[in-house]
Protein backbone atom coordinates (compact mmCIF):
# COMPACT_ATOMS: atom_id res chain seq x y z
CA UNK A 1 0.00 0.00 0.00
CA UNK A 2 1.44 3.39 -0.87
CA UNK A 3 1.68 6.36 1.42
CA UNK A 4 -1.08 8.25 -0.36
CA UNK A 5 -3.86 5.67 0.02
CA UNK A 6 -3.48 5.04 3.74
CA UNK A 7 -4.23 7.19 6.75
CA UNK A 8 -1.28 8.25 8.93
CA UNK A 9 -0.70 6.09 11.99
CA UNK A 10 0.54 7.92 15.06
CA UNK A 11 2.44 6.52 18.03
CA UNK A 12 -0.82 6.60 19.93
CA UNK A 13 -4.47 7.47 19.51
CA UNK A 14 -6.82 8.28 22.38
CA UNK A 15 -9.24 5.49 23.27
CA UNK A 16 -12.37 7.50 23.94
CA UNK A 17 -15.66 6.24 25.40
CA UNK A 18 -18.61 6.35 22.95
CA UNK A 19 -19.93 9.92 22.76
CA UNK A 20 -23.44 8.83 23.74
CA UNK A 21 -22.04 7.59 27.06
CA UNK A 22 -20.49 11.00 27.78
CA UNK A 23 -23.56 13.11 26.94
CA UNK A 24 -25.54 12.20 30.11
CA UNK A 25 -22.60 13.40 32.21
CA UNK A 26 -22.52 16.68 30.30
CA UNK A 27 -26.28 17.10 30.79
CA UNK A 28 -25.76 16.81 34.53
CA UNK A 29 -22.98 19.41 34.50
CA UNK A 30 -25.20 21.76 32.52
CA UNK A 31 -28.09 21.14 34.93
CA UNK A 32 -26.25 21.64 38.20
CA UNK A 33 -23.91 24.45 37.09
CA UNK A 34 -20.94 23.13 39.05
CA UNK A 35 -18.10 23.31 36.55
CA UNK A 36 -15.03 22.95 38.75
CA UNK A 37 -13.68 23.33 42.35
CA UNK A 38 -14.29 19.80 43.59
CA UNK A 39 -17.73 19.15 42.10
CA UNK A 40 -19.64 15.86 42.20
CA UNK A 41 -17.83 14.23 39.25
CA UNK A 42 -14.48 15.19 40.74
CA UNK A 43 -15.45 13.49 44.00
CA UNK A 44 -16.71 10.40 42.15
CA UNK A 45 -13.63 10.09 39.96
CA UNK A 46 -11.27 10.28 42.96
CA UNK A 47 -13.17 7.43 44.59
CA UNK A 48 -13.43 5.39 41.39
CA UNK A 49 -9.70 5.71 40.75
CA UNK A 50 -8.85 4.74 44.34
CA UNK A 51 -10.96 1.62 43.86
CA UNK A 52 -9.57 0.77 40.44
CA UNK A 53 -5.92 1.44 41.25
CA UNK A 54 -5.99 -0.04 44.75
CA UNK A 55 -4.77 3.09 46.55
CA UNK A 56 -6.36 5.12 49.33
CA UNK A 57 -5.68 8.80 48.68
CA UNK A 58 -5.78 10.51 45.29
CA UNK A 59 -5.82 14.21 44.45
CA UNK A 60 -6.85 14.98 40.88
CA UNK A 61 -4.98 17.65 38.91
CA UNK A 62 -5.41 19.66 35.72
CA UNK A 63 -2.35 17.86 34.27
CA UNK A 64 0.60 15.71 35.31
CA UNK A 65 3.14 18.55 35.24
CA UNK A 66 1.20 20.59 37.80
CA UNK A 67 0.91 17.43 39.89
CA UNK A 68 4.71 17.05 39.83
CA UNK A 69 5.35 20.71 40.66
CA UNK A 70 2.85 20.52 43.53
CA UNK A 71 4.20 17.21 44.88
CA UNK A 72 7.63 18.83 45.29
CA UNK A 73 6.00 21.81 47.04
CA UNK A 74 3.96 19.57 49.31
CA UNK A 75 7.08 17.85 50.62
CA UNK A 76 8.99 21.17 50.79
CA UNK A 77 11.78 19.79 48.62
CA UNK A 78 14.74 22.14 48.13
CA UNK A 79 18.42 22.02 47.14
CA UNK A 80 19.35 19.12 44.86
CA UNK A 81 17.23 16.23 43.62
CA UNK A 82 18.55 13.10 41.94
CA UNK A 83 16.65 12.21 38.79
CA UNK A 84 16.87 10.52 35.40
CA UNK A 85 17.74 12.20 32.10
CA UNK A 86 15.75 9.50 30.28
CA UNK A 87 12.22 10.88 30.57
CA UNK A 88 9.86 13.49 29.17
CA UNK A 89 11.19 16.96 29.85
CA UNK A 90 8.40 17.74 32.37
CA UNK A 91 10.16 15.57 34.97
CA UNK A 92 13.17 17.88 35.25
CA UNK A 93 11.19 21.05 34.50
CA UNK A 94 9.17 20.44 37.67
CA UNK A 95 12.42 20.78 39.62
CA UNK A 96 13.44 24.04 37.91
CA UNK A 97 9.97 25.48 38.56
CA UNK A 98 10.66 24.88 42.25
CA UNK A 99 14.16 26.38 42.16
CA UNK A 100 15.68 22.92 42.67
CA UNK A 101 18.88 21.72 40.97
CA UNK A 102 18.44 18.45 39.07
CA UNK A 103 21.30 15.97 39.43
CA UNK A 104 21.18 13.44 36.60
CA UNK A 105 22.13 9.85 37.28
CA UNK A 106 22.45 7.16 34.60
CA UNK A 107 19.85 4.49 33.95
CA UNK A 108 19.79 0.71 34.17
CA UNK A 109 20.24 -0.85 30.70
CA UNK A 110 17.43 -3.37 31.19
CA UNK A 111 14.65 -1.34 32.84
CA UNK A 112 15.76 2.10 31.53
CA UNK A 113 14.95 3.48 34.99
CA UNK A 114 17.30 5.26 37.40
CA UNK A 115 20.15 2.86 38.24
CA UNK A 116 20.19 2.31 42.04
CA UNK A 117 23.89 1.37 41.86
CA UNK A 118 24.72 4.92 40.77
CA UNK A 119 22.53 6.97 43.09
CA UNK A 120 24.72 7.06 46.22
CA UNK A 121 27.71 8.56 44.42
CA UNK A 122 25.53 11.54 43.38
CA UNK A 123 24.29 12.36 46.92
CA UNK A 124 25.69 15.58 48.44
CA UNK A 125 24.79 17.50 51.63
CA UNK A 126 22.31 19.48 49.46
CA UNK A 127 20.41 16.40 48.26
CA UNK A 128 16.88 16.24 49.67
CA UNK A 129 15.05 13.82 47.40
CA UNK A 130 15.06 11.29 44.55
CA UNK A 131 12.70 11.70 41.60
CA UNK A 132 12.69 8.42 39.64
CA UNK A 133 10.41 7.65 36.67
CA UNK A 134 8.73 4.30 35.93
CA UNK A 135 9.66 4.69 32.26
CA UNK A 136 7.14 3.18 29.79
CA UNK A 137 5.34 1.79 32.86
CA UNK A 138 8.21 -0.54 33.82
CA UNK A 139 8.59 -0.42 37.64
CA UNK A 140 11.73 1.06 39.19
CA UNK A 141 13.72 -0.92 41.72
CA UNK A 142 11.58 0.55 44.49
CA UNK A 143 13.13 -1.56 47.29
CA UNK A 144 16.66 -0.42 46.64
CA UNK A 145 15.67 3.19 46.05
CA UNK A 146 13.78 3.25 49.37
CA UNK A 147 16.76 1.73 51.17
CA UNK A 148 19.04 4.47 49.86
CA UNK A 149 16.46 7.13 50.73
CA UNK A 150 16.14 5.78 54.29
CA UNK A 151 19.91 5.63 54.75
CA UNK A 152 20.39 9.26 53.70
CA UNK A 153 17.09 10.72 54.96
CA UNK A 154 15.79 11.55 51.48
CA UNK A 155 12.22 11.80 50.17
CA UNK A 156 11.17 9.81 47.11
CA UNK A 157 8.65 11.12 44.57
CA UNK A 158 7.82 8.74 41.74
CA UNK A 159 6.95 10.16 38.36
CA UNK A 160 4.47 7.44 37.43
CA UNK A 161 3.07 9.33 34.42
CA UNK A 162 3.38 6.16 32.30
CA UNK A 163 2.33 3.71 34.98
CA UNK A 164 -1.47 3.86 35.28
CA UNK A 165 -2.66 0.49 36.59
CA UNK A 166 0.81 -1.09 36.80
CA UNK A 167 1.36 -3.52 39.66
CA UNK A 168 4.30 -5.35 41.17
CA UNK A 169 4.08 -8.48 43.37
CA UNK A 170 2.73 -6.39 46.29
CA UNK A 171 0.02 -4.45 44.41
CA UNK A 172 -0.11 -0.98 42.85
CA UNK A 173 3.32 0.51 42.21
CA UNK A 174 1.78 3.86 43.15
CA UNK A 175 2.07 2.90 46.84
CA UNK A 176 5.87 3.31 46.80
CA UNK A 177 7.83 6.34 47.95
CA UNK A 178 6.45 9.44 49.66
CA UNK A 179 4.28 10.43 46.70
CA UNK A 180 3.57 9.26 43.15
CA UNK A 181 2.17 11.30 40.29
CA UNK A 182 0.12 10.21 37.26
CA UNK A 183 -0.62 11.87 33.91
CA UNK A 184 -3.97 11.56 32.16
CA UNK A 185 -2.86 13.40 29.00
CA UNK A 186 -4.50 12.55 25.66
CA UNK A 187 -1.57 10.26 24.84
CA UNK A 188 -1.90 8.14 27.98
CA UNK A 189 -3.52 4.76 28.65
CA UNK A 190 -6.23 6.49 30.72
CA UNK A 191 -7.06 10.03 29.66
CA UNK A 192 -9.15 12.99 30.77
CA UNK A 193 -7.87 14.99 27.73
CA UNK A 194 -5.46 16.83 30.06
CA UNK A 195 -5.20 15.64 33.63
CA UNK A 196 -3.11 14.13 36.36
CA UNK A 197 -3.07 13.06 39.98
CA UNK A 198 -0.98 12.74 43.12
CA UNK A 199 -1.21 9.58 45.19
CA UNK A 200 -0.63 10.25 48.89
CA UNK A 201 0.11 7.78 51.66
CA UNK A 202 -2.29 9.35 54.20
CA UNK A 203 -5.23 11.70 54.61
CA UNK A 204 -3.11 14.51 56.12
CA UNK A 205 -0.81 14.65 53.09
CA UNK A 206 -3.76 14.52 50.70
CA UNK A 207 -5.35 17.43 52.53
CA UNK A 208 -2.19 19.53 52.22
CA UNK A 209 -2.03 18.72 48.49
CA UNK A 210 -5.70 19.58 48.05
CA UNK A 211 -5.05 22.97 49.66
CA UNK A 212 -2.00 23.55 47.48
CA UNK A 213 -3.86 22.82 44.24
CA UNK A 214 -6.55 25.35 45.22
CA UNK A 215 -4.38 28.45 45.84
CA UNK A 216 -3.74 27.30 49.42
CA UNK A 217 -7.35 27.83 50.56
CA UNK A 218 -8.34 25.77 53.61
CA UNK A 219 -11.75 27.49 53.80
CA UNK A 220 -13.40 30.59 52.41
CA UNK A 221 -11.19 33.02 54.31
CA UNK A 222 -8.09 30.99 55.24
CA UNK A 223 -5.04 30.56 53.01
CA UNK A 224 -2.55 28.13 54.55
CA UNK A 225 0.09 27.92 51.79
CA UNK A 226 1.23 29.67 48.62
CA UNK A 227 -0.83 27.36 46.43
CA UNK A 228 -1.46 27.23 42.71
CA UNK A 229 -4.48 26.54 40.54
CA UNK A 230 -4.00 22.87 39.72
CA UNK A 231 -7.63 21.77 39.85
CA UNK A 232 -9.22 19.26 37.49
CA UNK A 233 -12.57 20.50 36.19
CA UNK A 234 -15.91 18.65 36.01
CA UNK A 235 -15.71 18.01 32.27
CA UNK A 236 -12.36 16.26 32.67
CA UNK A 237 -13.67 14.25 35.62
CA UNK A 238 -16.77 13.22 33.63
CA UNK A 239 -14.62 12.02 30.72
CA UNK A 240 -12.54 10.06 33.23
CA UNK A 241 -15.60 8.38 34.74
CA UNK A 242 -16.95 7.43 31.32
CA UNK A 243 -13.56 6.16 30.21
CA UNK A 244 -12.85 4.10 33.28
CA UNK A 245 -15.70 1.77 32.24
CA UNK A 246 -13.67 0.81 29.16
CA UNK A 247 -10.20 0.52 30.68
CA UNK A 248 -10.26 -3.27 30.99
CA UNK A 249 -10.97 -3.74 27.30
CA UNK A 250 -8.38 -1.07 26.38
CA UNK A 251 -5.64 -2.80 28.37
CA UNK A 252 -6.51 -6.21 26.89
CA UNK A 253 -6.31 -4.78 23.36
CA UNK A 254 -2.95 -3.17 24.15
CA UNK A 255 -1.65 -6.44 25.55
CA UNK A 256 -2.49 -8.29 22.33
CA UNK A 257 -0.73 -5.68 20.21
CA UNK A 258 2.29 -5.70 22.54
CA UNK A 259 2.56 -9.48 22.34
CA UNK A 260 2.25 -9.48 18.56
CA UNK A 261 5.13 -7.01 18.29
CA UNK A 262 7.25 -9.04 20.71
CA UNK A 263 6.65 -12.22 18.75
CA UNK A 264 7.16 -10.77 15.29
CA UNK A 265 10.15 -8.60 16.05
CA UNK A 266 12.17 -10.99 18.18
CA UNK A 267 14.48 -11.41 15.21
CA UNK A 268 15.09 -8.30 13.18
CA UNK A 269 17.65 -8.33 10.41
CA UNK A 270 19.98 -10.36 12.59
CA UNK A 271 20.28 -7.66 15.26
CA UNK A 272 18.79 -8.20 18.66
CA UNK A 273 15.73 -6.48 20.00
CA UNK A 274 15.97 -6.02 23.72
CA UNK A 275 12.67 -5.56 25.50
CA UNK A 276 12.03 -4.34 29.04
CA UNK A 277 10.99 -6.96 31.61
CA UNK A 278 7.25 -7.40 32.09
CA UNK A 279 5.92 -6.54 35.56
CA UNK A 280 3.24 -8.37 37.58
CA UNK A 281 0.59 -6.26 35.80
CA UNK A 282 1.76 -4.20 32.86
CA UNK A 283 -0.27 -1.49 31.12
CA UNK A 284 1.36 -1.90 27.69
CA UNK A 285 1.48 1.85 27.33
CA UNK A 286 4.50 1.96 25.01
CA UNK A 287 6.39 -0.45 22.79
CA UNK A 288 10.05 0.59 22.90
CA UNK A 289 12.07 -1.12 20.19
CA UNK A 290 15.85 -1.19 20.69
CA UNK A 291 17.57 -1.02 17.35
CA UNK A 292 20.91 -2.28 18.54
CA UNK A 293 22.88 -2.52 15.32
CA UNK A 294 26.49 -1.34 15.39
CA UNK A 295 25.54 1.39 12.97
CA UNK A 296 24.06 4.09 15.22
CA UNK A 297 22.07 5.60 12.38
CA UNK A 298 19.93 2.52 11.90
CA UNK A 299 17.34 3.59 14.48
CA UNK A 300 16.90 6.80 12.57
CA UNK A 301 16.76 4.88 9.30
CA UNK A 302 13.88 2.78 10.62
CA UNK A 303 12.20 5.94 11.93
CA UNK A 304 12.60 7.58 8.50
CA UNK A 305 11.29 4.60 6.51
CA UNK A 306 8.22 4.31 8.75
CA UNK A 307 7.59 8.04 8.48
CA UNK A 308 7.82 7.95 4.68
CA UNK A 309 5.08 5.33 4.83
CA UNK A 310 2.83 7.44 7.05
CA UNK A 311 3.76 5.70 10.31
CA UNK A 312 4.76 8.17 12.99
CA UNK A 313 6.80 6.20 15.50
CA UNK A 314 8.49 8.39 18.16
CA UNK A 315 12.04 8.60 19.46
CA UNK A 316 11.02 8.82 23.12
CA UNK A 317 13.31 10.01 24.75
CA UNK A 318 15.60 11.74 22.32
CA UNK A 319 17.23 14.14 22.99
CA UNK A 320 17.97 13.33 26.62
CA UNK A 321 16.68 15.96 29.06
CA UNK A 322 20.30 16.67 30.02
CA UNK A 323 20.98 17.83 26.45
CA UNK A 324 18.36 20.60 26.45
CA UNK A 325 19.89 24.09 26.79
CA UNK A 326 18.68 24.77 30.35
CA UNK A 327 20.31 21.52 31.63
CA UNK A 328 23.35 21.14 29.38
CA UNK A 329 25.68 23.13 31.65
CA UNK A 330 25.11 21.00 34.75
CA UNK A 331 28.09 18.84 35.77
CA UNK A 332 25.82 15.77 35.90
CA UNK A 333 24.75 16.36 32.26
CA UNK A 334 28.15 15.37 30.87
CA UNK A 335 27.81 12.53 28.39
CA UNK A 336 30.43 10.39 30.17
CA UNK A 337 28.20 10.49 33.28
CA UNK A 338 25.25 9.11 31.29
CA UNK A 339 26.53 6.46 28.85
CA UNK A 340 23.54 4.09 29.11
CA UNK A 341 20.95 6.86 28.80
CA UNK A 342 22.87 8.28 25.82
CA UNK A 343 22.81 4.90 24.10
CA UNK A 344 19.10 4.38 24.83
CA UNK A 345 18.28 7.81 23.39
CA UNK A 346 20.15 6.83 20.21
CA UNK A 347 18.67 3.35 19.85
CA UNK A 348 15.06 3.36 20.97
CA UNK A 349 12.05 3.80 18.77
CA UNK A 350 8.55 3.69 20.28
CA UNK A 351 6.20 1.93 17.87
CA UNK A 352 2.50 2.77 17.53
CA UNK A 353 0.43 1.07 20.20
CA UNK A 354 -3.18 1.88 21.02
CA UNK A 355 -6.38 -0.18 21.37
CA UNK A 356 -7.75 0.70 17.92
CA UNK A 357 -4.59 -0.20 16.00
CA UNK A 358 -5.90 -2.70 13.47
CA UNK A 359 -4.30 -6.04 12.80
CA UNK A 360 -3.63 -4.97 9.19
CA UNK A 361 -1.96 -1.74 10.22
CA UNK A 362 0.22 -3.54 12.74
CA UNK A 363 1.20 -6.10 10.09
CA UNK A 364 2.16 -3.24 7.79
CA UNK A 365 4.37 -1.71 10.51
CA UNK A 366 6.00 -5.05 11.29
CA UNK A 367 6.64 -5.83 7.62
CA UNK A 368 8.21 -2.45 7.00
CA UNK A 369 10.56 -2.96 9.95
CA UNK A 370 11.45 -6.49 8.91
CA UNK A 371 12.26 -5.26 5.40
CA UNK A 372 14.70 -2.51 6.53
N1 LIG B 1 6.33 12.84 33.31
C2 LIG B 1 6.45 11.99 32.27
C3 LIG B 1 7.37 10.82 32.41
C4 LIG B 1 5.72 12.19 31.08
O5 LIG B 1 5.87 11.33 30.04
C6 LIG B 1 4.84 13.29 31.00
C7 LIG B 1 4.10 13.53 29.79
C8 LIG B 1 4.72 14.15 32.12
C9 LIG B 1 5.49 13.89 33.26
C10 LIG B 1 3.83 15.33 32.13
O11 LIG B 1 2.44 14.98 32.12
P12 LIG B 1 1.36 15.99 31.44
O13 LIG B 1 1.61 17.35 32.02
O14 LIG B 1 1.56 15.95 29.94
O15 LIG B 1 0.05 15.40 31.88
C16 LIG B 1 3.49 13.72 24.77
C17 LIG B 1 2.57 14.31 25.78
O18 LIG B 1 2.25 15.67 25.52
C19 LIG B 1 3.04 14.21 27.19
O20 LIG B 1 1.88 14.22 28.01
C21 LIG B 1 3.77 12.90 27.45
N22 LIG B 1 4.34 12.84 28.75
C23 LIG B 1 4.85 12.69 26.41
C24 LIG B 1 5.60 11.38 26.61
O25 LIG B 1 4.26 12.64 25.14
P26 LIG B 1 4.41 14.73 22.56
O27 LIG B 1 4.97 16.08 22.25
O28 LIG B 1 5.10 13.55 22.06
O29 LIG B 1 2.88 14.64 22.14
P30 LIG B 1 2.19 14.85 20.74
O31 LIG B 1 1.23 15.97 20.87
O32 LIG B 1 3.20 14.90 19.66
O33 LIG B 1 1.33 13.50 20.62
C34 LIG B 1 1.89 12.27 20.19
C35 LIG B 1 0.89 11.64 19.21
O36 LIG B 1 -0.31 11.32 19.88
C37 LIG B 1 0.48 12.54 18.06
O38 LIG B 1 1.37 12.40 17.00
C39 LIG B 1 -0.91 12.08 17.71
C40 LIG B 1 -1.43 11.51 19.03
N41 LIG B 1 -2.38 12.44 19.66
C42 LIG B 1 -1.91 13.45 20.45
C43 LIG B 1 -2.79 14.34 21.04
C44 LIG B 1 -2.28 15.46 21.91
C45 LIG B 1 -3.73 12.30 19.39
O46 LIG B 1 -4.14 11.40 18.65
N47 LIG B 1 -4.60 13.17 19.99
C48 LIG B 1 -4.20 14.19 20.79
O49 LIG B 1 -5.03 14.94 21.32
O50 LIG B 1 4.29 14.68 24.14
pLDDT tens for residues 145-180? Answer: 999 999 999 999 999 999 999 999 999 999 999 999
Whether 11 is in the pocket of ligand 1, judged by its Cβ within 6 Å, is yes
**Mean pLDDT across the chain, nearest whole number?**
94
Same domain, yes or no: 213 and 282: no
* Predicted local distance difference test score (pLDDT) of residue 270: 43
Both 194 and 253 in a single domain?
no
Q: For residue range 179-222, list pLDDT tens digits in order.
A: 999 999 999 999 999 999 999 999 999 999 999 999 999 999 99
CA-to-CA separations, 249 to 147, 154, 254, in angstroms, rounded: 37, 39, 9
- Would strands 311-312 and 9-10 be described as parallel, antiparallel, or unpaired? parallel
Among 224, 244, 264, identify where a domain stops: 244
Question: Based on the domain organization, do 125 and 42 belong to the same domain?
Answer: yes
304 and 331: one domain? Answer: yes
Closest atom of ligand 1 relative to the 195 alpha carbon = 15
Q: Rounded to whole angstroms, how far apart are CA atoms 60 and 184? A: 10
Please indicate, yes or no, whether residues 239 and 99 belong to a single structural domain of this protein. Answer: yes
Nearest CA to ligand 1 atom 17: 187
Which residue from 14, 185, 239 has its CB within 8 A of the most atoms of ligand 1, so it is best to mutate? 185
Among residues 306, 283, 296, the alpha carbon closest in space to that of 366 is found at: 306
Q: Which atom of ligand 1 is nearest to the CA of 314?
A: 28
- pTM value is 0.97
At 42, which CATH number? 3.40.640.10
Give residue 370's pLDDT: 83
Q: Quote the domain boundaries for residue 264.
A: 3-14+246-370
CATH code where residue 359 lies: 3.90.1150.10
pLDDT surpasses 70 at 297: no
Total domains present in the chain = 2
* Mean pLDDT value across residues 356-364: 97
Helices and strands (H, E) in the chain, number of each type: 12, 15
List C-alpha distances in Å: 8 to 184, 289, 301, 317, 365. Answer: 24, 20, 18, 22, 12
For 255-305, give the DSSP string.
HHHHHHHHHHTSSBTTB----PPP-SB-----EEEE---SSTTHHHHHHHH
Amino acid sequence: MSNSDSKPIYVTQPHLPPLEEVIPYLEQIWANHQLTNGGPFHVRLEQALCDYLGVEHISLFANGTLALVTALQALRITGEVITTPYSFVATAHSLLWNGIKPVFVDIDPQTLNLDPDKIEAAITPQTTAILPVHVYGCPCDTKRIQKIADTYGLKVIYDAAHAFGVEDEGGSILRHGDLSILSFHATKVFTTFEGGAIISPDEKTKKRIDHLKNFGFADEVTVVAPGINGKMNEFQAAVGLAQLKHIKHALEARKEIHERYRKSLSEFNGVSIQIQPISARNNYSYFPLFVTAENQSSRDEVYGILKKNGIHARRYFFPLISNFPMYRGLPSSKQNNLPIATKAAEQILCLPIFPNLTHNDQERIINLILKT
